[in-house]
Amino acid sequence: MRYLNTVYVRQHRARVQCRRGSLLVSSPEGSQRIPIEAVDALVVLGGAQITMQAIDACVQRGVRVAALKRGGAVRFTVSPATSGNVHLRSALFQAAMDPSRSLDLSRAVVAAKLQNSGIVVSRWSRDEKNPEKSDGLAGRSEMIRARIARLAEAETGDHVRGIEGDAARIYFRALGEVLASSPLPFTARTRRPPRDLVNAMLGFCCGLLVTECIGAVESMGLNHQMGFFHRPRSGRPSLALDLAEEFRALTDRFVVFLVRRRQLNPDSFEETPGGGVYLNGDGRTQPVFCAGCNFPHGRWRVPEQRWQDTTTDRMGRAQGGGDPASDPEPSRGTVGDAIGSGHIAGTSFTGRPSRLSSVCASLSDGCSAHLRHCRHQQERRCPAETAFRHL
């Protein structure tokens, strides 16, 4: 597995052009030339611009381009032509339209998110020096984890979303307690627009996470707009948002890391007439350059930007017919183990959190197994109903 080389263009007046096989990034502070062959992804932040010639050159060379608004919301993504096969995408569409399978996958997504949220709050409790405050955080961690068992009783997607919302309320109260004595306090989660400094950072880091998940989904030949927990809606990257759910608590932990160490201060933000608060050019630099802090993956520790790289590698292993669980198992969960246990096939939900092979790996694994069976039987069709029996 290798690191993905991602270029972040953050300056407001920066302009990305293509010159003789290289990306030329020009700004009032100067210019820099970057060979396209050395780039895997290009992320344009805020008011930075990119020419159509540069976009075309990136697409021709397999470089994914993403543009984010100041608050971190994804403005657009441009990817090379989708790889994979039509049977895999058809299986994804049919699974998303099947209420039973969609419900099972939604349960798995939320179970993974709640598991990570509980772990993060438990870590905050362990690091807290005030015994009374530590006990309070530990209690909130247990309350979040207790919601996982309730997912087995959920009969509709709306019920699952209600459980997730209830756990999120407890989680953000814990986040407020953690940052109560920090220079940047947090009272409540606000979006569109973010109303305070911490919410601005949470939204921005979440946007970076979603762009990575979009790239991971597209690299497997799946449609990032066809999700399960996040129902399909025009313009929404639903499947990428599903994959991002389990990592949200870890990105929040990263934001707390920045706030506690005073990596960001009020000068890193700017206010808009509508009451929104956003990171300015210098403020957007810190989350990008500080993201090299290590997070666990199995017995090893990997930088945060490799989470999605790890996911993509396991997806590729599954699509190729290998075993996505052959990698060292991470200490945090994702959706794949729950799906691999049979949840996508319509069996009962056990509430067990899943691991890092994710939705795409299970879809790819099931469809690839069926394709091998089809080739053996000289069949051409790959109905999703048969494909998912192999999970």
pLDDT at 276: 77
CB 110 within 8 A of CB 163: yes
Residue 300 lies in a domain: yes
> Per residue in 142-168, pLDDT tens?
999 989 989 988 888 899 999 999 999
Q: Could you give the CA distance from residue 363 to residue 88 in angstroms, rounded to a whole number?
A: 7
- Residue 78's beta-bridge partner residues? 65
* pTM reported for the whole predicted model: 0.64
The annotated binding site is made up of 164, 230, 245
- The CATH number that applies at residue 51 is 3.100.10.20
Q: Identify whether residues 164 and 31 lie together within a single domain.
A: no
pLDDT at 338: 34
Q: Which residues constitute the domain of residue 49?
A: 6-68
Q: Could you give the CA distance from residue 283 to residue 203 in angstroms, rounded to a whole number?
A: 13
Q: Identify whether residues 275 and 186 lie together within a single domain.
A: yes
Sheet containing strand 30-35, edge to edge, reads 30-35, 22-27, 15-19, 49-50
Instruction: Convert the chain into a string of H (helix), E (strand) and C (coil).
Output: CCCCCEEEECCCCCEEEEECCEEEEEECCEEEEEEHHHCCEEEEECCCEECHHHHHHHHHCCCEEEEECCCCCEEEEECCCCCCCHHHHHHHHHHHHCHHHHHHHHHHHHHHHHHHHHHHHHHHHHHCCCHHHHHHHHHHHHHHHHHHHHHHHCCCHHHHHHHHHHHHHHHHHHHHHHCCCCCCCCCCCCCCCCCCHHHHHHHHHHHHHHHHHHHHHHHCCCCCCCCCCCCCCCCCCHHHHHHHHCCHHHHHHHHHHHHHCCCCCHHHEEECCCCCEEECHHHHHHHHHHHHCEEEECCEEEEHHHHHHHHHHHHHHHHCCCCHHHCCCCCCCCCHHHHHCCHHHCCCCCCCCCCCCHHHHHHHHHHHHHHHHHHHHCCCCCCHHHHHHHC
Q: Could you give the CA distance from residue 335 to residue 151 in angstroms, rounded to a whole number?
A: 14
pLDDT at 277: 74
Q: Identify whether residues 359 and 324 lie together within a single domain.
A: yes
Residue 74 lies in a domain: no
> Per residue in 224-269, pLDDT tens?
888 889 888 877 888 988 988 888 888 888 888 888 887 777 776 7
CB 76 within 8 A of CB 66: yes
pLDDT at 223: 79
Q: Identify whether residues 304 and 367 lie together within a single domain.
A: yes
pLDDT at 328: 33
Q: Identify whether residues 110 and 34 lie together within a single domain.
A: no
From residue 255, alpha-carbon distances to 46, 186, 246, 252 in Å are 19, 11, 16, 5
Low-confidence ranges of the chain (pLDDT < 50): 1-3, 289, 292-391
pLDDT at 234: 79
Q: Output the average pLDDT for the chain.
A: 71
Sheet containing strand 6-9, edge to edge, reads 6-9, 41-45, 64-68, 74-78
pLDDT at 167: 92
Q: Identify whether residues 53 and 177 lie together within a single domain.
A: no
CB 213 within 8 A of CB 243: yes
CB 14 within 8 A of CB 25: yes
Q: Identify whether residues 120 and 243 lie together within a single domain.
A: yes
Last-in-domain residue among 41, 68, 95 = 68
Of the candidates 194, 317, 341, 315, the residue with the CA atom closest to the CA atom of residue 255: 194
Q: Identify whether residues 176 and 252 lie together within a single domain.
A: yes
Q: Is the preceding peptide bond at 193 cis, omega within 30 degrees of 0?
A: yes
Q: How many CB atoms lie within 10 A of CB 190?
A: 18
Structure-token match 């991971």, residue found = 216
Q: How far apart are the first and last CA of the chain?
A: 25
Q: Identify whether residues 55 and 91 lie together within a single domain.
A: no
Last-in-domain residue among 68, 102, 120 = 68
Burial 94-132 (b: 16+ CB within 10 A, else e): ebbebeebbbbbbbbbbbbbbbbbbbbbbebbeebeeee
Tell the burial category of 85 from Cβ atoms under 10 Å away from its Cβ (0-12, 13-18, 19+).
Answer: middle
What are the tokens at 351? 């509430």
Q: Identify whether residues 10 and 109 lie together within a single domain.
A: no
| Total domain count, the chain | 2
- The CATH number that applies at residue 305 is 1.20.120.920
Percent of the chain at pLDDT > 90 equals: 11
Amino acid present at 163:
I
Residue 199 lies in a domain: yes
- Residue 18's beta-bridge partner residues? 23
Q: Identify whether residues 305 and 229 lie together within a single domain.
A: yes
Residue 251 lies in a domain: yes
Residue 368 lies in a domain: yes
Residue 80 lies in a domain: no
Residue 46 lies in a domain: yes
Q: Could you give the CA distance from residue 139 to residue 20 in angstroms, rounded to a whole number?
A: 59
pLDDT at 192: 78
The annotated binding site for Mn(2+) is made up of 164, 230, 245
Residue 1 lies in a domain: no
Q: Identify whether residues 43 and 140 lie together within a single domain.
A: no
